């Protein structure tokens, strides 16, 4: 199965390090990040789970729930988490799905036969409160994921969902955003009281609207 942007993220029930969860019910009205790992006790993924644990308070502030997956059993997960906490100087503070039968991995197309038919590839899914897929990323095994970038993308997605704006290349929190072409010039003063700079008829920028 190949999930595309806009598809409804498949629902599932799974055992995790924080108990059994029903995915859609667990998400509720929150945004969600689901990210997968090939196996427990892998070096790059050990650093990634630690990095996400340190960043999780930032995702919490943005109403984003975090859920990881590895195709190993729960007992293995619990042992691995001890290693992560020790080596990454943090505490894993989000659930890790035990998926030894690849049920969730196959549901989300995380197993790529051209890479390997035995491990989940390192995928990331950002899912909105409407349970639809907003972003997909797939990384090779040797490249650690940039979780600051994932946080940046979530901020951009939330701005797009709440306002008629897009974010330019390399945008960072606090910088100007682009007013979408769907907004007419005459409607800008009412919708964007901070004002706008008209660079081209199709390129109009305004200060980030959700900041004081």
Residue 185 pLDDT: 96
150-162 per-position pLDDT tens digit: 999 999 999 999 9
Ranges of beta strands (E only) in the chain are: 13-16, 19-22, 31-37, 64-70, 96-98, 122-127, 133-139, 165-166, 177-179, 197-200, 203-206
CA–CA separation, 122 vs 142, rounded Å?
10
Report percent pLDDT > 70 for the chain: 95
Block residue for tokens 């049920």? 103
More confident residue, 9 or 116: 9
Residue 35 pLDDT: 95
CATH superfamily to which 163-206 belongs: Antioxidant, Horf6; Chain A, domain2 (3.30.1020.10)
List the chain domain ranges.
Answer: 13-144, 163-206
CA–CA separation, 135 vs 157, rounded Å?
9
**pTM above 0.85?**
yes
Residue 112 pLDDT: 65
Rounded to the nearest 10 degrees, the angle between the axes of helix 147-162 and helix 43-61 is 30
pLDDT category of residue 88 using cuts at 50, 70 and 90: very high
22-78 per-position pLDDT tens digit: 999 999 999 999 999 888 999 999 999 999 999 999 999 999 999 999 989 999 999
**Residues that are catalytic:** 45
CATH superfamily to which 13-144 belongs: Glutaredoxin (3.40.30.10)
103-150 per-position pLDDT tens digit: 999 899 887 665 554 555 689 999 999 999 999 998 888 899 999 999
Residue 115 pLDDT: 53
Radius of gyration of the chain (CA): 19
Which strands sit side by side in the sheet containing 13-16, from one edge to the other? 19-22, 13-16, 96-98, 64-70, 31-37, 122-127, 133-139
CA–CA separation, 76 vs 155, rounded Å?
34
């Amino acid at each position: 199965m190949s999930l595309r942007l806009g598809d409804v993220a498949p629902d599932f029930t799974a055992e995790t390090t924080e108990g059994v969860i029903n995915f859609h019910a667990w998400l509720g009205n929150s945004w969600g990040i689901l990210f997968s790992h090939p196996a427990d006790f892998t070096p790059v993924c050990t650093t990634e789970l630690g990095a996400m644990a340190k960043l999780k308070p930032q995702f919490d502030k943005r109403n984003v729930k975090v859920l990881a997956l590895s195709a190993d059993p729960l007992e293995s997960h619990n042992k691995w988490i001890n290693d992560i906490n020790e080596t990454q100087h943090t505490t894993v503070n989000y659930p890790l799905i035990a998926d030894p039968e690849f049920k969730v991995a196959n549901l989300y197309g995380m197993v790529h036969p051209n890479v390997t038919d035995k491990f989940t590839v390192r995928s990331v899914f950002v899912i909105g409160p409407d349970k639809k897929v907003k972003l997909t990323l797939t990384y090779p095994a040797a490249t650690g994921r940039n979780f600051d970038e994932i946080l940046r993308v979530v901020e951009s997605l939330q701005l797009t969902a709440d306002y008629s704006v897009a974010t330019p290349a390399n945008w960072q929190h606090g910088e100007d955003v682009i007013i979408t072409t769907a907004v007419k010039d005459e409607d800008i003063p009412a919708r964007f009281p901070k004002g706008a700079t008209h660079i081209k008829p199709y390129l109009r920028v305004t200060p980030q609207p959700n900041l004081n």
